[in-house]
């Protein structure tokens, strides 16, 4: 099984989501999967021109030649594609949305009705990778992911595939306290759950209800998280790190 992560944080390798991805992939690798984590911030991906040339002029191929020449086949060659990103104002960051927009060549321009009476573009290929989402938000609470969750459910429908798992983590800034003596054991427990999730995805193509429940539990009390979060912002302002 090939699992490819498309990491869509503007911070690249410094983002909190990457910590989640690394633990998830450890579990997937332990279960025998071949894995790859592609940092989109390190790639040259231009904006879609919206001219439909990939459907009419060069069917199945984009007329823009950049790193998508390599990334699009890697997406299609995956058994599971993982979209990993932080939440930016309730949705996916622009860098990830740009990548998704450039996936248009793998579909056909023709319209079709799906099993729910809605419409989408027809599929160009028989098989598309199944989808997993890994995301974190700086704010506490699972409601931060409502828009993102709907977006990826619609994405899976549009691309004739399944959204088989969603791993959402509020309180994302706790990952920056990985060396904190009080947070370290709590984060260690959560990382173990992420590795378990990676194994389950490889072995079962889904997550157990128990794993989902455990993953969604708060790691620190919300009031305490907000208190220390605001104190940290005040400290940064005082040190002049924020313009």
Query: What is the DSSP annotation of 106-164?
Result: GEEEEEEE-TTS-EEEEESSS---EEEEEEE-SSSSGGGGHHHHHHHHHHHHHTT--EE
Contact of 237 with 205, CB cutoff 8 Å: no
How many Cβ atoms from other residues are within 10 Å of residue 238's Cβ? 9
Residue with tokens 């579990």: 27
CATH topology assigned to domain 2-238: Rossmann fold (3.40.50)
Q: How many CB atoms lie within 10 A of CB 44?
A: 8
**pLDDT value of position 239:** 81
Q: Which two tokens stand for residue 174?
A: 């706790």
The reported pLDDT for the residue numbered 174 is: 84
Give the CA distances from residue 242 to residues 93, 103, 138, 155, 173, in Å, rounded to whole numbers and listed in that order.
Answer: 21, 36, 17, 36, 17
| Per-residue pLDDT at 179 | 63
Which pLDDT does position 241 carry in this prediction?
58
Closest CA to 201 of 64, 26, 55, 46: 26
Q: What is the pTM of this model?
A: 0.94
Q: Can you tell me the distance from the alpha carbon of 133 to that of 156, in angstroms, rounded to the nearest whole number?
A: 11
pLDDT averaged per 10 residues, the chain (length 243):
96 90 98 97 96 94 96 98 96 97 97 95 97 96 96 97 97 77 84 97 97 93 86 82 53
- Quote the pLDDT of residue 80: 98
Question: pLDDT value at position 233?
Answer: 83
- What pLDDT is attached to residue 227? 86
Q: Rg of the Cα trace of the chain? A: 19
Residue pointed to by tokens 């503007």:
10
């Amino acid at each position: 099984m090939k699992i490819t992560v498309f990491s869509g944080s503007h911070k690249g390798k410094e983002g909190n989501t990457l910590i989640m991805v690394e633990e998830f992939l450890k579990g997937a690798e332990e279960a025998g999967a071949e894995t790859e984590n592609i940092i989109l911030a390190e790639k040259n991906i231009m904006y879609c021109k919206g001219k439909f040339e990939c459907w009419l002029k060069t069917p199945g191929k984009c007329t823009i030649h950049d790193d998508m020449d390599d990334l699009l086949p890697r997406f299609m060659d995956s058994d599971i594609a993982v979209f990993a990103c932080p939440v930016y104002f309730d949705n996916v960051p622009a860098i990830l949305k740009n990548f998704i927009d450039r996936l248009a060549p793998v579909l056909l321009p023709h319209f079709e009705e799906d099993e729910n009476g809605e419409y989408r573009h027809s599929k160009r290929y028989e098989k598309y990778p199944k989808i997993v989402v890994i995301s974190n938000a700086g704010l506490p609470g699972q409601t931060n992911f409502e828009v993102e969750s709907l977006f990826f459910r619609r994405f899976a429908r549009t691309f004739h595939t399944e959204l088989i798992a969603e791993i959402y983590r509020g309180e994302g800034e706790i990952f920056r306290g990985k060396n904190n003596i009080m947070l370290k054991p709590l984060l260690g427990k959560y990382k173990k759950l992420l590795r378990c999730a990676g194994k389950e995805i490889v072995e079962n193509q889904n997550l157990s209800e128990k794993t989902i429940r455990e993953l969604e539990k708060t790691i620190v009390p919300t009031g305490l998280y907000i208190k220390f979060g605001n104190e940290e912002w005040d400290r940064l302002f005082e040190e002049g790190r924020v313009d």
